[in-house]
Amino acid sequence: MMDRRAFVLVCAGGALSAPLAAHAQQAAGKVYRLGILSAGGVPDPSIPTMVNVLFTALGDLSYVEGRNLVVDRRFAEDRFDRLPGLARELVQLRPDAIVAISGQAIKAVRDATATIPIVMVISTDPVARGLVASFSRPGGNVTGISTVAENSLAGKRLELLKEAVPKAARIAVLAAGPLSSSDQLKEAQKAAEALRVRLVPVEVRDTDYDHAFSTLVSEHADAIFAVMGPTLLRDRKQIAERAMKHRLPIISASPEMVEAGGLMSYGNSTLDSARRAAVYVDKILKGASPSNMPVEQPTRFELVINLKTAKALGLILPNSLVKRADTVIQ
């Protein structure tokens, strides 16, 4: 049994029309407008995803869509070339703030506006990318949640996977969207050379997981390194099911993938990052300036292991590895 708190499911409704917004304003006073831009796909309302968890957290802060909140949502469906156009659409609607999920989405919104407050979720090193001046004083219209250590953790994840599966010689790097520009792939490649394993990049296109796993099998992959993003997080259950079918252990950044049946994760919860982003939205809607709001960085990284999955895959994990785990699913 898992000793982490359960996630709350949320149903995120559709965008509101102008007449409904006007009615809400008359009924409840101030109505805020919030834009959402995600590089991933439309979330299933029955699954805890970053977008759904964000709205659960906003509800806890008394923001209710249809009463005091109007939401404009845009999803790129992993077609990163669509992000600039979608970002401009949101900016033209003049929201009070925009939440951007993934590094590509954050950059697209920042390029589209220098005035509308932007709350970023899971940005990798925003200072190096020029999104903020510093973590303590962002200095512009962007603030939020960073995963600054994410790239350096890529090598650590590969080491953990090799420790769990010593015979793994070919490891597939699974991602939704282009892998050619992935910083995690570059960092993992450095570790792969030291570990003497070969990485096999596999891109999931149009959520065609059957094709992606056919590629994994034809490439004789021994294990999977999942590059987490909005889409793979959303589809973690079907990814884990296919991995189990093909007897392929998975490591990722997200403990949610392990809960779904993956073997291991090392990192911090992306869903917790979405919860924290809601706090930034709340402060901004109440008048705070993003330029003075420090960017939040993860301070703790957890190793989560699913022993049930290990047993199903016929793996006997080293005791030294299991003892280091912060959470073990039996």
Structural domain boundaries in the chain: 18-147+270-292, 150-267+302-329
Question: CA nearest 63: which of 36, 91, 100?
Answer: 36
Q: Mean pLDDT over all residues of the chain?
A: 87
Instruction: Return d(Cα 144, Cα 278) in angstroms, integer.
Output: 9
Question: CA nearest 158: which of 253, 258, 216, 225?
Answer: 225
Topology match between the domains 18-147+270-292 and 150-267+302-329: yes
Query: What is the SS3 assignment for 37?
Result: strand
Instruction: Return d(Cα 200, Cα 248) in angstroms, integer.
Output: 14
Answering whether pTM is above 0.85, one says no
Angle, CA 151 vertex, CA 147 and CA 154 arms, to 5°: 115
Give residue 138's pLDDT: 96
Contacts of 109 (CB under 8 A, 6+ apart): 35, 37, 87, 90, 91, 98, 100, 118
Tokens standing for residue 276: 């924290």
Q: 150-267+302-329, which class in CATH?
A: alpha beta
Give residue 301's pLDDT: 84
CB atoms within 10 A of CB 47: 18
Mark the ranges of the chain whose per-residue pLDDT is less than 70: 1-28, 148-152, 179-183
Q: Would you say 86 and 74 are in contact if contact means Cβ atoms under 8 Å apart? A: yes
Give residue 239's pLDDT: 96
Give residue 11's pLDDT: 35
Give the CATH fold of the 18-147+270-292 domain: Rossmann fold (3.40.50)
Report strand pairing: 223-226 vs 198-204.
unpaired
Give residue 150's pLDDT: 52
Q: Please, what's the largest Cα pairwise distance for the chain?
A: 65
